[in-house]
Amino acid sequence: MKQAVNWSLLLSHSHWITINFNGKQIRLCARCFGTIMGFSTIFLILSLIGFKTSLNLIFLCFILAAPGIIDWLTQSWKLRNGRNDLRIITGFTNGSAIALLSFIPLPFILKLKIIFYALTLVSILGLIGKIVK
């Protein structure tokens, strides 16, 4: 029976870390793993302390996301080789930015638009860099 979805490729992309879970080895994308850990950690901490934010912190979200954007762009443009430790760290800062954004008092649809436009811009920059190279 043919498997409809290649879960290994979906979860690990081409740069993975291996986690032993319940006697099985699971390959996870390093940056995605860092993002999940960053989001979970910051969201839990901010929830537990009853953190109240303001619109002023939206700039901090962009600052936290910048290392991940720079890391991904410089790798996709083949300016340097990536490393999993950097992918985990920049993923953590990306996840932290998303967690912080979730606490900022903006309508949910506006938060989705911010993320969508940022991802679109970064993707376009990535494609331009690949074309120019």
Q: Is residue 15 part of a domain?
A: no
Q: Which residue segment(s) compose the domain that 44 sits in? A: 31-132
Which pTM does this prediction carry?
A: 0.83
Q: Is residue 24 part of a domain?
A: no
Task: Indicate the number of domains in the chain.
Answer: 1
Q: Is residue 120 part of a domain?
A: yes
Q: Is residue 14 part of a domain?
A: no
Q: Is residue 127 part of a domain?
A: yes
Q: pLDDT-derived band of residue 27, with 50, 70 and 90 as boundaries?
A: confident
Q: Is residue 97 part of a domain?
A: yes
Q: What pLDDT, on the 0 to 100 scale, is given for residue 11?
A: 56
Percentage of the chain with pLDDT > 90? 61
DSSP secondary structure of the chain: ---SS-HHHHHHTTSEEEEEETTEEEEEEHHHHHHHHHHHHHHHHHHHTT----GGGHHHHHHHHHHHHHHHHHHHTTSS---HHHHHHHHHHHHHHHHHHHHSSS-HHHHHHHHHHHHHHHHHHHHHHHHH-
Q: Is residue 3 part of a domain?
A: no
Provide the mean pLDDT of the chain: 88
Q: Is residue 8 part of a domain?
A: no
